[in-house]
Structure 1
Amino acid sequence: MPYLQQLLKSAGMPLPPKPQPSHVILAGIGGVVTVAALALLHGSLELTLLLGSFGASCVLVFGFPESPFSQPRNVISGHVLSSTVGLLFLTLFGPHWWALALAAGLAISVMMATRTVHPPAGSNPVIIFLAQPTWDFLLFPTFTGAIVVVLVAWIFLRSSKRAPYPYYWW
């Protein structure tokens, strides 16, 4: 039992502070507005702008706009780089479990090496291997959708005075 207790022992850090209720509400509304914009554009432009990882991007951008992971550079570049790696591995090696695993690992490394880490984008290779899209996926939904997420966040966070988003652009 002492070994199990030692194994499960945490670093002893306290929970993060509870966010202000207004921040919680604004983050939720920001997510609604962004996903609605993506869905409406998806329906009206006959383009696919919805990507599952964009929901997680909204959590970061609206819930934690001060985080480096939430900045435009990270949101856009992280999504584009991870999708590029996923499409490259799918094209070169086909839909094999090991190619997916390598693509996911390389996407993480590329984002870290380029200082463009955006955790939701780490799921893009998985999405690509499941959907098996063409290279158009890089423009629609990846790049265009990431731009929409950033633009809505910029307008919404500035107008709500929730945060001086972004802290840096590029």
Structure 2
Amino acid sequence: MMKLLEKLAGERAALPPKFTGKAILMAGLGGMIAISIAALMSARLDQLLVLGSFGASCVILFAYPDAPFAQPRNVIGGHFLSSLIGLLVVSQLGVAWWALGLAVGLAIAGMMFTRTVHPPAGSNPVIVWLVASQGAFSWQFLWFPTLFGAIIITIVALIYNNLTREGKYPKYWL
């Protein structure tokens, strides 16, 4: 028990460096633009293209664009795979509490196995489960909003990050 308490105290490492005011402004603006474009396209196409997890994706895409989790392969692949797993689990096992846990665990393992880890995508099976629990299960969720929404925010990140930053984005594709 004492060893656990010692571990819970943490390593007492220093906080990460502060973001500059410019970096804060530019990341916030990038996220605003990405979600606004996805929402506008949703309205114009009369097709849902926004997920709650995309807000968290924007944090990674615009505040940490050099991180592995921010690369297009991870954003698009992670969202797609996690929603697919959520849909498969719900379609086969229903909306039981344990099925939700299984779906999230399988999504994490699947993203790790395919090297498409994108932490916000871990919430997609939860979103699928919540929608299905309201009687609105649909395989279309995999395409709209998941895949096309993830592609939209990634395209915005590609353009925005390369126009506003010194570094290149992405670091890798496949």
1:65–1:163 contact (8 Å) kept in structure 2: no
1:58-107 superposed Cα distances (whole Å, 9 cap, x missing partner): 00000000000000000000000000000000000111101010000000
Map of 1:73 onto structure 2: 73
Counterparts in 2 of 1:73 and 1:3: CA distance versus 1, 3 Å: closer
1:127-154 superposed Cα distances (whole Å, 9 cap, x missing partner): 0000123000000010000100110000
Q: Give percent identity, aligned residues only.
A: 50
RMSD between aligned alpha carbons?
Answer: 1.4
1:78–1:118 contact (8 Å) kept in structure 2: yes
Map of 1:121 onto structure 2: 121
Counterparts in 2 of 1:109 and 1:14: CA distance versus 1, 3 Å: same
Compute the TM-score of the two structures, normalised by the length of structure 1. Answer: 0.95
Q: Where do 5+ consecutive residues of structure 1 fail to align?
A: none
Q: How does 1:1-170 map to 2 (within 5 A)?
A: 6=6, 8-132=8-132, 133-161=137-165, 163-170=167-174
Compute the TM-score of the two structures, normalised by the length of structure 2. Answer: 0.93
Q: Tell me whether 131-140 or 55-64 shows the greater mean CA deviation.
A: 131-140
Q: Could you tell me how far 1:164 is from its partner in structure 2? A: 1.4
1:158–1:165 contact (8 Å) kept in structure 2: yes
1:23–1:162 contact (8 Å) kept in structure 2: no
Q: Which amino acid aligns with 1:157?
A: N
The alignment of Structure 1 onto Structure 2 pairs a total of residues equal to 169
